[in-house]
Amino acid sequence: MKNKIVIAIVFATCIISCRTEREKKLDSSLESLANVNVFYYKPVNNIECDKIRWCLTKIDSLATDKELEKLAIRNQDPIIRLYAFQLLLHRKNESYMDIALLNIRDSSKVIVRDFYGFCGTYADMISNICVNMLVKSLKCMRDTSKLNRLDSVLLYSPDAKGILYYKELFLKLPPKIEYYKYVRRHYFEQHNFYALLALARYHKKEDKYQINRLLLNFRNHIDLPCGFEQPFSIALLAIQQWPDDYFISALKRASYHYLFADVMFSNTLKYFLGALMAYNAQWSYDIIKRSIEKMRKKGNTIDTEILMIRLREAYQENPHPRYKSLFK
């Protein structure tokens, strides 16, 4: 009997020791990850990213699903919460959806290094990064039910901010009357300019002023997180949803700055050309034609080529035959 008790104690001690050793290795890997304190969407070949990759490999081999869930929700370090969520996504753990929805209000910021994008190194909120990763994963899995669930939560969440996916959501949102008050709340209470893209589809007179106001303030630029667009650019996209005569005067005024000055590399130029083409009218055709002629007179081949590339991109989205002759 005594021998059995001794064996049981030894066995229990071994189990505790093994668990403690695993937890020590896990804690060490988490500490190393926290010390790097940088998030990468995609791996690159540098020492910093190699260290992160090593830490994540160790954590993935040591942590259970429950431990990762706890880390993703409760850990005090935002970088740990973020990478734990990423690992759950890779595991296709069923909890990732609920955790992502919890994180849409997480305004904690981390440093992001994105050598494949335009910003390089920048600060971004956990909410935006989690939604970005979630949407990409759901699209790869073609899981429309979960994507629809995300859309619904974001639409009805009055306090979700700084999420770039709202642009895609408001572009595809059908103009159902039951959505209207929630879209307006996003615009007026949360100052989410992307809500204009959905408001424009309702063609309501009271919303014209908001779009026109942003058009008239085309010279104003505000500080925005990486990837977000200026209000003027969003207003141009809204006009493509609603090419009303009310906006023509403001469009003509802004065209002297955007279409008859140096060509921009941003999407604003394409949005402007697309807004003009949405009218399918002679006056808009004439504005575009004059801008091309003036650019060619300047003799700047590169700027002219950029203008024509943007024009072709806009035409593909608004293929009205009237504008086809501009490419000759």
Alpha helices, H only, the chain: 2-36, 47-62, 65-74, 78-91, 96-102, 126-141, 144-156, 166-172, 177-188, 195-199, 205-216, 231-241, 248-258, 268-279, 282-298, 301-317
pLDDT at site 285: 97
Within 13 Å, how many C-alpha atoms sit on residue 219's CB side?
3
User: How far apart are the C-alpha atoms of 135 and 41, rounded to whole Å?
Assistant: 13
Cα 222–chain centre separation: 18
User: How far apart are the C-alpha atoms of 158 and 64, rounded to whole Å?
Assistant: 34
Within 13 Å, how many C-alpha atoms sit on residue 119's CB side?
15
Per-residue HEC secondary structure of 57-98 comes to: HHHHHHCCHHHHHHHHHHCCCHHHHHHHHHHHHHHCCCCHHH
Dig out the tokens for 161 from the structure.
């901010």
AA letter at 199: L
pLDDT at site 114: 77
Tell me the β-bridge partners of 124.
Answer: 110
> In a structure prediction context, what are the per-residue pLDDT tens digits for the chain, which is 328 residues long?
545 444 444 444 454 455 689 999 999 999 999 998 899 887 677 788 889 999 999 999 999 999 999 999 999 999 999 999 999 999 998 899 999 999 999 999 999 987 555 677 899 999 999 999 999 999 999 999 999 999 999 999 988 889 999 999 999 999 999 999 999 999 999 999 999 999 999 999 999 999 999 999 988 888 888 889 999 999 999 999 999 999 999 999 999 887 776 556 678 999 999 999 999 999 999 999 999 998 888 887 888 898 899 999 999 998 999 999 999 8
User: How far apart are the C-alpha atoms of 217 and 245, rounded to whole Å?
Assistant: 18
